[in-house]
A and B are shown apart, each in its own frame.
Chain A
Amino acid sequence: MRRTPRLHWISILLGLLVLMCVVSFHAYAAIRPEPVPVAGGHRELPDGTLALAFHGGPDPKWTPRTLERLGAAGIKATFFVTGAQVTRHPDVARRIVAEGHRIGIDGFRAEGDHVDPLDLAFAQAALADALGVHTRLVGAPAEVDSGDREYQDIGTLVRMSLAQRGGVVRLHDDGSIGGDIARELAKQPGYRFVLVSDEPPEKASTRERFTGAVTTWSQRNGGVVLVLFGTAIAIAALLGLLRTLMQLGLAHTDRRLRRENEPPPWFAPPVSVVVPAYNEALNIAATVRSIAANNHVADVEVIVVDDGSTDGTADVAEELDLPGVTVIRQANQGKPAALNAGVREAAHDVLVLVDGDTIFEPDTIGQLVQPFADTGVGAVSGNAKVGNRQGLLGRWQHLEYCAGSNLDRQILHALRCIPTVPGAVGAFRRAALTDVGGVSDDTMAEDTDLTMAVTRAGWRVAYRPEAKAWTEAPASVHGLFRQRYRWSYGTFQAMWKHRGALVENGPMGRFGLLYLLAFHLLLPLLAPVMDLFVLYGFLVADAPLGLIVWTVFLLIQTASAGYALRLDGESLRPLWAYPLQQLVYRQLMYVVVIQSLITALHGTQLRWMSVRRTGRLMDAPGGSVHVT
């Protein structure tokens, strides 16, 4: 036995964080705040000395024009660029440097956007990527305003630029006539031109260049990542909608057909009930008593197979001393072996297989065997219900059993491809079990494996919602995780084992496997992206569309869950807990799917993870069944 892999969680969490940062940075860089000129320290220049400082660029149209004017006039100037613009037009930035001009930073997204050190770091990263430099020239010094934002008359602009007979002159290269002013200033007698700083930029460090490459990539490609996010969400939304529509449509049709069809005569074959049990001392007495108290009109024998329990499960079952109950003891060999041992011992041809923690209602067996009246039916699934619905976790599982599993089962029943007859309540025809060679231990979900095998062998699998059985759901998040991890991993194992069904003519390949693939693998894998997108839209992009879609979706699903509860004859009261599922329960479910997938890739042998029993099934008929 090996430890289950865990390292991938670091990669997944960091990967999601990186993706979130990429799209957030993309959104941040796209915003253009109002420019705020921030005057730096005063640069002392002698009379008749001008330092031309251009702002707002690099611009693909106006900066080259400015560079041409400066080149023609033989003037070297200083360009205070914005980082986001450098990323957009790196060639223009490179040309500025190549023609001997000085580069400074004005900000990241707009002039003055360097006051926040993080913005300055973004701007430096952009420069490092485009030019391979780091500059200390951040923010222009106090300047003489040329007035090129307000005025057009070149004479006025030249006069304003020379108002102090020297100094740093503020010009723009993002759409103004800054280049023309420079040309006119060059013609003024008695002036010489210098750079704002004599200090050349330093070479950027490798770390800065790498960071620059990352921020540049994010600014340019964040949109693509967003489109990918959007596509994933669209697929998830479509799948979710499809499932809801199928659930409502098919479940309704299934019920209607049942109502409209004349009920066949009551079928009452003798039945053998096999109860595999491992350390079920707390529950086994209640389980066996409830089975023995059945009102089935033919013989019912009960075979308890104790699979090497260490808590006296077999003793508890024997002490009950109930007629028709046999207890078999075997060394611990696993649930499939226990089931096979029970089936070998069984006298009858209709076999009810039930977990050692399940409570039957008096008519459960009678109801469960009805579909066997049809000789083509090889297996029947009953209706498993949560017996301990106290607390949020119990309610959530109760809702999931009704709105998820049972409704799913009705759809799949209509499509004739039920993939799982649950271990909690199911019945098999002996001939079907013989056809598939008994219960296999190839997977951790022997019930799914067996059901798929029976379907592939040509038998029909039916669903009998009236055959209710009450089971104990895990009472802790940890217990729930372990149970679902086993189920999910086991289902993937069974899907892989029976992948050949895809090219067969039967319903398992046509619908069953595809259904599981779409709704039990793909949908949970896409769900984290949806959560991330909602967070992004709400917190970063100020675009609550994601939240609206999510809320509409939640309302549809809640309505669907309400319908499922009604179909099952359950109270609608626990429905209030349904929206809260989205905060913990759903995430737990996709964590389970991801963990299962990674475990499968690693090829790790998963241990059988038993769920801690409490023996309390308060909501089952008979109330608390706690045995002390």
Chain B
Amino acid sequence: MQVFVDRTGGRRVAARLVSWTVASGLIVFAAVVGGTLLGAW
């Protein structure tokens, strides 16, 4: 087994969860703020 490779899959699931949460959070954030400001523009 190579260094860093996740044996159980738990770390990968957690990392994906964090990744999805951060990405979707940023998308919603950008959509709300950008939409409000650019909507007025």
* Chain A contact residues, CB within 8 Å of chain B: 2, 5, 7-8, 10-11, 14-15, 17-18, 116-118, 120-122, 124-125, 207-208, 210-211, 214-215, 441-444, 492-494, 496-497, 599-606
Contact = CB atoms under 8 A, between A and B. Distances in A.
B33 A605 contact: no
Contacts of B26: 10-11, 14-15, 18
Contacts, number: 94
Contacts of A441: 2
Contacts of A599: 4
B5 A605 contact: yes
A210 B4 contact: no
Contacts of B23: 7-8, 10-11, 14
A-side interface mostly: helix
Given A7-B20, A10-B27, A18-B26, A120 B5 contact: no
Contacts of B40: 117-118, 120-121, 124
Contacts of B41: 116-118, 121
B6 A602 contact: yes
Contacts of A122: 37
A608 to B, nearest CB: 11
Interface string B1-40: 0111110000110011001101100110110110111111
A603 B15 contact: yes
A5 B19 contact: yes
A124 B39 CA distance: 13
A10 B28 CA distance: 12
Nearest to B35: A207
A214 B40 CA distance: 16
The 5 A-B residue pairs with the shortest CB-CB distance, nearest first, are A603-B6, A121-B40, A493-B3, A211-B36, A14-B26
A603 B16 contact: no
A441 B22 CA distance: 34
A11 B19 CA distance: 8
Nearest to B22: A11
Given A121-B36, A603-B12, 5 more contacts: A8-B19, A8-B22, A8-B23, A18-B26, A18-B30
Contact of B32 (A121, A124, A211, A492): A211
21 contacts: A7-B19, A7-B20, A8-B22, A10-B26, A11-B19, A14-B23, A14-B27, A18-B26, A118-B41, A121-B36, A121-B37, A210-B32, A441-B2, A443-B2, A444-B2, A492-B4, A496-B3, A602-B6, A602-B15, A603-B15, A604-B12
Nearest to A210: B32
A293 B13 CA distance: 53
Contacts of B33: 210-211, 214-215
B11 A602 contact: yes
A493 B5 CA distance: 10
A8 B21 CA distance: 10
A145 to B, nearest CB: 30
B2 A442 contact: yes
A208 B35 CA distance: 10
B5 to A, nearest CB: 5
Contacts of B39: 121
Contacts of A17: 30
B15 A601 contact: yes
A168 B10 CA distance: 69
A606 to B, nearest CB: 8
A601 B4 CA distance: 7
A602 B20 CA distance: 13
Contact of A496 (B4, B22, B29): B4
B32 to A, nearest CB: 6
Contacts of A18: 26, 29-30
A101 B26 CA distance: 38
Contacts of B19: 5, 7-8, 11
Contacts of A120: 40
Contacts of A11: 19, 22-23, 26
A207 to B, nearest CB: 5
A601 B3 CA distance: 11
B4 A600 contact: yes
Nearest to A8: B19
A125 B36 contact: yes
A601 B14 CA distance: 10
B4 A5 contact: no
**Chain B CB within 10 Å, residue with most, of A120, A211, A441:** A211
A541 to B, nearest CB: 20
**Chain A CB within 10 Å, residue with most, of B2, B16, B29:** B2
Nearest to A599: B4
Nearest to B25: A11
Contact of A207 (B5, B12, B36): B36
A382 to B, nearest CB: 26
Contacts of A601: 11, 15
Contacts of A497: 3
Nearest to A120: B40
A442 B6 CA distance: 13
